[in-house]
Structure 1
Amino acid sequence: MSAITLPLKNKISPEQLFMISGLLVNGGNYLYNLVLGRILGPEKFADAAILITFLLVLSFVAMTFQLVTAKFSVIFEGTVFETFISNTYKKASIVGVVLGIIVILFSSELQDFFKTISSNMFVVFGIGVPFYFLMSVNRGIFQGKKELNSLSVTYQLEMMSRLLITFGLLFFFQIDSSLLISFGILGSFLFGLFPFKLKKFSFSKLIKLESTKSKMVRNFFIITAFYELTQIIINNSDILLVKHYFNSYEAGLYASLALIGRVVYFVAWMFVMLLLPAVVQLKKEGKSTVPILLKYVSYIAAIAIAIVLGCALFPNLIIQMLFGDGYLEIAPLLWKYALATGIFAVSNIFAYYYLSLDNYVPVVFSGIFGMLQILLVVLFHNSLEQVVHVQIIAMCILLFVQLFFFSLKNLKGFNFIS
């Protein structure tokens, strides 16, 4: 057996292994959502979708810490790196505890706004928030240091534990499904902490970075936090607003539509994980970063086109296979939602690229069009179809602006490695 696996390891790079692992993780997360949709039906799945959306929102907030950690894990070395990591863990813990307490305190208000059956699911979710932030910093170290095997393990443990705990609880206990799902999410946060680099985590040391380095970290953190906020708005505001404006049945249908249509975004996420440290490293070495951007853009564009075509040609088949006949009503909108998500995924690669280079103008673009999307959905929500159409409009304009900015930089001869 070892004679077989050794040549295989020599042929497959760590990046390729991470991509394979990422596909498995995304596949597992997809299976989790699909089985929930089939078991619960549209109305109960609407409540589950709120928890899943909260999980996505949390992942984007915590991604700020992960990206900051990843970037400066490439730049900082030695004692500076150790100090940076220790301080980042402390700050992530504080933010996680504060946000968790806020979710718990406002659980009743969240129940009223989103029209969920229970408020307890938000309480359980809030308890898990601090653990997710610690997990994200830990992942940032692995990402920046290109310890992709350890990075893969944390994602796999989170995914597999969520599957096993959630469906185990649903099988053995006949109580509020949304509460059981929240316990499954909490458990997955704990498992996702492993492997954890305890030696880099100390609350007792009060060592500060040099002012120049501290300013670098602070500036990048602020702009990354702003950008992740735009990601939250663009990726999740539609589901939250639909849950508010429409009844549970329609909200459940829309949640299934969003889940299928977002395949391309989840695939693009794997490329983003590899793009940021690669761009930072190339910049550090004084090499051109444009070729790697164009390579990843071409990958995402090809995947997006394939998914949109598949959704356009076989919408009923896809809906029946993934969710069942109870969701067929949403089939005509499938390719349109996939189109909106695909356009966003491509424009998102440009934004993360410039974020890696400390160029924050595209981040502002994302913020503007994220707010535009919310405004359009608030103003135009007479039907689910109208909600999807306004998102296509907003994302098309965003991609055009990002492409125009990229072209303008090239035409004017700007130096992309500085």
Structure 2
Amino acid sequence: MTAIRLMLRKVSQEQLFMLSVLIVNGGNYLYNLLLGRFLGPEAFSEAALLITLLLVLSFLGMTFQLAVAKFAVLFTGNEWRIFKNNSYKQSAIIGTIVGLIITIFSSKLQVLFNAQSQWMFIIFGIGIPIYFFMSVNRGTYQGNQEFNRLSITYQTEMWSRLLITMLLLILLDFEPGILVSTGILISFMFGLYPSDMQGVSLNTSEKLSPENAKKVSQFVVLTACYELTQIIINNSDILMVKHYFDALDAGLYASLALIGRVVYFVAWMFVMLLLPAVVQKQKDGEPTAPILFKYVTYIGLLSAAIVISCYLFPDLIITLMFGESYLSMANLLWQYALATSLFAVSNIFAYYFLSLDHYVPVIISGILGLSQIVLVALFHENLATVVHMQIIAMSTLLVVQIIYFLNKELNKNNRLTD
């Protein structure tokens, strides 16, 4: 035990957080893999739909989290207290509104996505206010770089979702979609631990100074727009496949997406570290580009390894993860992994710009996110075509992001030499 304590003291909070994220991503992968094997392709499409809807709504959750993370670095004293209280209050209000909308239109969602029951949407909607509240709590830890507590909130959410959902599926003979949505709801409650609620008041009427309020508004709008475009890019394909194809094809595609997106989930870990680091460097007047180069290198190497592995061993990977019933997707695995890798690298660029309050990359991502939807809507003869449309859109996105970065750096260097 003494040796373990000494080892942990030498490990930084950032390193522990990265290890924790790897465990969380592994747990989430195990959760999806178990669902895929336990339910089979058709029923798995229902579970994948709920998980995708959660990711779609995460654009609002991440907006709260990133805004709180950024201004936890910039604000101090009374301004931070006011901002924190207002963030919790707004998350509760918006979460309640979104949850009510999902509940009211649950029958319409059932028809739109060819689901078996509207109740899975109702249960899912009940959990949304808790999810947004949890996001504000995580933003506080992220901004203050309390990565140990941030890690715990992700661990409690992931493990509770995995264990409770599987227990419900094993013990109860009920519609899988309803049981999965119940597991998601309960996991949000566990994800509130630990919470930094000391001194928080939801009845506050205090407001930030006009200057700070403007900064917050600009960043929130910018972040919400970018998060929405990111969600559109990363999840619209699953929703559109669920709409255009039958349950079997939708389940097969969901398994393909899950395997191919492993690089994106790991990239998210670096985003959590990137934003506060870039904001702090900018605040201290230090160069920020080296941080970008470091994380792009990490994600680039990881992406290349995953794409090559998916190209060389597709049958083995799919059989180990989901079973032989999903093998018809083997020839598309490396192609989907390539599309996701392109998006993951461009995402690092985009969050870097977002940290520096640059709005042009948000517009770029929005345009190309919509172009992906248009391409898939126009060309969806089969699942292979859907994947190819994404490769085209993501290649274009990354090239444009690189050109924008090089142009900004060139202009900066020109100003310094003048």
SS of the aligned residue for 1:206 comes to coil
Aligned equivalent of 1:386: 385
For 2:238 and 2:189, how far apart are their aligned partners in 1? 27
Quote how far apart the aligned CAs of 1:368 are.
0.6
Aligned equivalent of 1:253: 252
Preserved CA contact (<8 Å) 1:135 1:193: yes
Q: TM-score, normalised by structure 2?
A: 0.98
For 2:307 and 2:124, how far apart are their aligned partners in 1? 34
Quote how far apart the aligned CAs of 1:305 are.
0.4
Aligned equivalent of 1:353: 352
For 2:236 and 2:327, how far apart are their aligned partners in 1? 24
Letter in 1 for 2:20: S
| CA offset digits 1:149-170 (Å, max 9, x no partner) | 0000000000000011101111
Aligned equivalent of 1:284: 283
Letter in 2 for 1:76: F
Aligned equivalent of 1:94: 93
Q: Given the superposition, is the C-alpha separation of residues 416 and 162 from structure 1 closer, same or farther in structure 2, using an over 3 Å criterion?
A: farther
For 2:415 and 2:391, how far apart are their aligned partners in 1? 30
Aligned equivalent of 1:333: 332
Aligned equivalent of 1:38: 37
Q: Report how many residues are paired.
A: 416
Aligned equivalent of 2:213: 214
Q: Given the superposition, is the C-alpha separation of residues 376 and 389 from structure 1 closer, same or farther in structure 2, using an over 3 Å criterion?
A: same
| CA offset digits 1:269-296 (Å, max 9, x no partner) | 0000000000000001110000011000
Aligned equivalent of 2:75: 76
Letter in 1 for 2:158: M
| CA offset digits 1:224-282 (Å, max 9, x no partner) | 00001101100110000000000000000000000000000000000000000000000
For 1:295 and 1:7, how far apart are their aligned partners in 2? 28
For 2:236 and 2:33, how far apart are their aligned partners in 1? 21
Quote how far apart the aligned CAs of 1:409 are.
1.4
Aligned equivalent of 1:176: 175
For 2:335 and 2:360, how far apart are their aligned partners in 1? 28
Aligned equivalent of 1:105: 104
SS of the aligned residue for 2:127 comes to helix
For 2:107 and 2:278, how far apart are their aligned partners in 1? 44
For 1:298 and 1:222, how far apart are their aligned partners in 2? 29
For 1:195 and 1:58, how far apart are their aligned partners in 2? 22
Aligned equivalent of 1:19: 18
Letter in 1 for 2:211: T
Quote how far apart the aligned CAs of 1:388 are.
0.2
Preserved CA contact (<8 Å) 1:85 1:200: no
Aligned equivalent of 2:305: 306
For 2:318 and 2:8, how far apart are their aligned partners in 1? 38
Letter in 2 for 1:116: A
Aligned equivalent of 1:266: 265
For 1:407 and 1:108, how far apart are their aligned partners in 2? 49
For 2:149 and 2:56, how far apart are their aligned partners in 1? 24
Aligned equivalent of 1:124: 123
For 1:6 and 1:319, how far apart are their aligned partners in 2? 39
Q: Given the superposition, is the C-alpha separation of residues 232 and 416 from structure 1 closer, same or farther in structure 2, using an over 3 Å criterion?
A: farther
Q: TM-score, normalised by structure 1?
A: 0.98
Preserved CA contact (<8 Å) 1:289 1:416: no
For 2:100 and 2:181, how far apart are their aligned partners in 1? 16
Letter in 2 for 1:112: V
For 2:413 and 2:357, how far apart are their aligned partners in 1? 14
For 1:307 and 1:192, how far apart are their aligned partners in 2? 30
For 1:49 and 1:6, how far apart are their aligned partners in 2? 40
Q: Given the superposition, is the C-alpha separation of residues 200 and 297 from structure 1 closer, same or farther in structure 2, using an over 3 Å criterion?
A: farther
Letter in 1 for 2:13: P
Percent of residue pairs identical? 60
SS of the aligned residue for 2:193 comes to coil
For 1:396 and 1:390, how far apart are their aligned partners in 2? 10
For 1:266 and 1:217, how far apart are their aligned partners in 2? 27
Name stretches of at least 5 consecutive residues in structure 2 with no aligned partner.
none
| CA offset digits 1:162-196 (Å, max 9, x no partner) | 01110111111001011000000000000001111
